[in-house]
Amino acid sequence: MDLDRSRDGLEKKFFDLCYKVVGDEGLRLYDMDYLSGSHLLRVYIMNEKTKSATLDDCVRVDHALTPFMDSESWMPEELTLEVSSPGVYRGLKNLDHFEMALGDEIKLEFFTVLDVKLRPQLPKSVWGQKKIRGPLKSISSEGLVLLIDDKELDFKFSEIKKANLDPEIGKNMRV
């Protein structure tokens, strides 16, 4: 998770550029990764209404970014650009991502197993588990609440190693 992630240097320049270009195309920048060692820039975009992106959306953003790749002096020469939808099982990394996932099934992976001694309210189904899945009921700046076995359980973001949208394919999908 990267709730408190701050971008700097080249990654910040890429983020600012992508944010502007994607917005100019009428889309939302969902996430962005720059892997400097492999000169790879991954840009994840989405249409606010559909919560996804079409191939045409990706091509449009790719074409809109290309002139900057050719003209900006700070751009690495050997840059590979990938533009895509964030995917059905998209990562949830910041508060905006979690807000968009309210009411949806998500999967959480924790740094340590869930210990019933520390959390006596845990249902037996999650005792000793390191990964759990359930509908996201609410979020705050500190954490979130999942519904597990008809119990609302709260977790701090600091406990969560990884979070993803985890829909049942074909069942009330909103992605």
Identify the CA nearest to 86 among candidates 161, 29, 35, 147: 29
CB 105 within 8 A of CB 166: yes
Q: What is the pLDDT of residues 67-114, one digit of tens each?
A: 998 898 899 989 999 999 999 999 999 999 999 999 999 999 999 999
> Are 79 and 103 in a shared domain?
no
Q: How far apart are CA 164 and CA 57, in angstroms?
A: 23
The DSSP 8-state label assigned to residue 150 in this structure reads T
> Are 101 and 78 in a shared domain?
no
**What's the confidence (pLDDT) of residue 119?**
86
> Are 61 and 80 in a shared domain?
yes
CA distance from start to end of the chain: 20
> Are 73 and 134 in a shared domain?
no
CB 160 within 8 A of CB 97: no
Last residue of a domain, one of 84, 117, 148: 84
**Mean pLDDT throughout 46-74?**
94
Backbone angles phi, psi at 142, to 5 degrees: -100, -25
> Are 126 and 63 in a shared domain?
no
Domain count, the chain: 2
Structural domain containing residue 36: 9-84
Q: Where do we find the tokens 């590979």?
A: 80
CATH of the domain at 99: 2.30.30.100
Asked, for residue 72, whether it belongs to a domain, the answer is yes
Average pLDDT score, the chain:
92
